[in-house]
């Protein structure tokens, strides 16, 4: 059985069930698997013939063995992953992998739908009640709310920055009701995330059984390793070691960490391109070795990536033998050379983002939205710097549906992005949400009043 340790090393290791239920470790560290299971050569060869849900079950099984039966995991994956994952060719061997076909039209459905089902089952088996506390910059909130809606024994509270989410993103979370409550904060995403993190570490709130569905929860990362294997298996001969290039539009770096776990488990990858918007603290860190948070984070059109201090950076540093605490202070320096060989980090500003949407539409009739465009521009930047990779299979992740950002996409391409069923009819549903200023004491009082049993 694979156990999980905290990146701060201040608490004993736990099993996967406890890691999922706790979210953040009590020492404010993030859980990491004590061993990353290796995918067998046989699995790498068979991967291309497996459906997405079959592949997910194969990859997740070593982590969950001993917690769920294989039958339960198979059923869970089959239920969670019932939508298509198109690989859209842009040119040559360059593709966009559309992770935007789930029920809330963002890639966060992949993790949220797994977590909703896994946590629902754990709560049923282990008893008690769980409160999922989530800060969102737009898409996590709706994915989590949709995935946990109606799950018995679990209540969800979503905090979102009122001025930073689009109308559609807000409507997706505020029109559900039932066990899902939402609060609009007057601050920024980073403020929401800071409140949530502080609540997790607050001993006065331990009676509440709080857990997180943010990417601080390892339950977000494990399922996010699957689509890397899926995409690579469809475009390259990974069974014979053929390597691919990925480009990942990144904010909190949970998506990228899923890819890093896939690489650790044996997926052949030349390079992970990590593309941020103007919040470029990680590209600068990789270049200079100096880490400076961006406070407050910059507001960019790829709003789900407006993050000035990504929580998963501590995991990346840990993966390369270093240690970073939750405030962003490096306690031990990681192997920066190895990191530089595996990763190519680049920052793409809003102007380049818009230009990329325009160009990819005009030249190839492929519609991107701001996040996917940041990823695509990152891939182009990598290929122009490393032209020897131009013939390799390259996969850029499209993390949201263009219809989530209709104004930008329409202004740039002149096209109305087609509305997927997931987003239809939202604007006519009644919305319900609370409002709060960024004030920890008020937030804590609200939690105790609403969620203490």
Ligand X SMILES: *Cc1c(COP(=O)(O)O)cnc(C)c1O
- Sites of contact with ligand X (CB under 6 A): 106, 108, 138-139, 215, 249-256, 304-305, 371, 399-400
CB of residue 213 to ligand X, shortest distance in Å = 12
Nearer CB in complex with ligand X: 146/252:
252
Distance between CA atoms of residues 297 and 347, nearest Å: 14
346 strand-pairing partners: 275
Nearer CB in complex with ligand X: 232/368:
368
Nearer CB in complex with ligand X: 17/251:
251
Distance between CA atoms of residues 374 and 397, nearest Å: 10
Token pair 């490096």 in the structure block, residue: 330
CB of residue 136 to ligand X, shortest distance in Å = 9
CB of residue 139 to ligand X, shortest distance in Å = 3
Nearer CB in complex with ligand X: 73/400:
400
**Which residue intervals of 253-349 are DSSP H helices?**
254-264, 281-288, 313-319, 336-342
CB of residue 256 to ligand X, shortest distance in Å = 6
Token pair 């331990």 in the structure block, residue: 206
Nearer CB in complex with ligand X: 80/256:
256
Cα dihedral 16, 22, 25, 26, rounded to 10, equals: -140
Token pair 């569905």 in the structure block, residue: 213
CB of residue 253 to ligand X, shortest distance in Å = 5
Token pair 């776990």 in the structure block, residue: 261
221 contacts 227 by C-beta, under 8 angstroms: no
CB of residue 274 to ligand X, shortest distance in Å = 8
Phi and psi angles of residue 355, each rounded to the nearest 5 degrees, phi first = -60, -35
CB of residue 220 to ligand X, shortest distance in Å = 8
CA distances to 55, 240, 270, 302 from 1, rounded to whole Å, are 20, 29, 30, 39
Cα dihedral 29, 228, 106, 74, rounded to 10, equals: -90
CA distances to 29, 269, 314, 331 from 327, rounded to whole Å, are 10, 31, 10, 11
Non-local CB neighbours of 280 within 8 Å, separated by 6+ positions: 294, 347
CB of residue 100 to ligand X, shortest distance in Å = 8
């Amino acid at each position: 059985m694979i156990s999980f340790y905290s990146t701060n090393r201040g608490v004993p290791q736990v099993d996967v069930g406890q890691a999922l239920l706790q979210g953040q470790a009590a020492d404010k560290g993030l859980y990491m698997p004590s061993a990353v299971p290796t995918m067998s050569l046989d699995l790498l060869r068979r991967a291309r013939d497996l459906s997405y849900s079959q592949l997910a079950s194969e990859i997740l099984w070593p982590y969950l063995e001993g917690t769920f039966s294989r039958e339960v995991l198979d059923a869970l994956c089959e239920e969670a992953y019932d939508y298509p994952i198109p690989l859209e060719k842009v040119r040559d061997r360059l593709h966009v992998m559309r992770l935007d076909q789930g029920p809330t039209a963002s890639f966060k459905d992949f993790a949220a739908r797994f977590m909703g089902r896994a946590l629902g089952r754990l709560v049923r088996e282990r008893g008690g009640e769980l409160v999922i506390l989530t800060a969102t910059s737009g898409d996590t909130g709706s994915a989590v709310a949709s995935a946990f809606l109606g799950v018995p024994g679990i209540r969800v509270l979503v905090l979102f920055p009122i001025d930073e989410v689009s109308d559609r993103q807000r409507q997706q979370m505020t029109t559900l009701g039932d066990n899902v409550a939402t609060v609009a904060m007057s601050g920024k995403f980073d403020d929401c995330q800071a409140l949530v993190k502080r609540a997790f570490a607050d001993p006065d709130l331990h009676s509440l059984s709080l857990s997180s569905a943010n990417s601080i929860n390892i339950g977000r990362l494990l399922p996010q390793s699957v689509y890397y294997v899926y995409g690579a298996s469809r475009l390259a001969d990974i069974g014979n070691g053929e390597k691919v290039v990925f480009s990942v539009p990144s904010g909190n770096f949970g998506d990228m960490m899923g890819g890093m776990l896939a690489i650790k488990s044996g997926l052949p990858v030349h390079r992970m391109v990590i593309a941020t918007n103007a919040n470029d603290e990680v590209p600068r860190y990789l270049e200079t070795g100096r880490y400076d948070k961006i406070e407050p984070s910059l507001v960019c059109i790829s709003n789900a990536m407006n993050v000035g201090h990504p929580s998963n950076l501590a995991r990346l540093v840990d993966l390369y033998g270093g240690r970073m605490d939750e405030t962003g202070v490096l306690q031990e320096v990681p192997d920066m050379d190895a990191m530089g060989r595996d990763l190519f980090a680049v920052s793409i500003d809003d102007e380049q983002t818009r230009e990329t949407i325009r160009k990819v539409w005009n030249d190839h009739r492929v519609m991107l939205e701001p996040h996917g465009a940041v990823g695509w521009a990152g891939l182009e930047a990598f290929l122009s710097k490393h032209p020897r990779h131009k013939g390799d299979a390259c996969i850029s992740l499209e993390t949201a549906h263009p219809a989530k950002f209709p104004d930008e996409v329409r202004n740039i391409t002149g096209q109305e992005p087609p509305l997927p069923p997931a987003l239809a009819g939202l604007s006519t549903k009644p919305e319900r949400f609370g409002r709060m200023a960024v004030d920890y004491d008020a937030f804590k009082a609200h939690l105790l009043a609403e969620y203490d049993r």
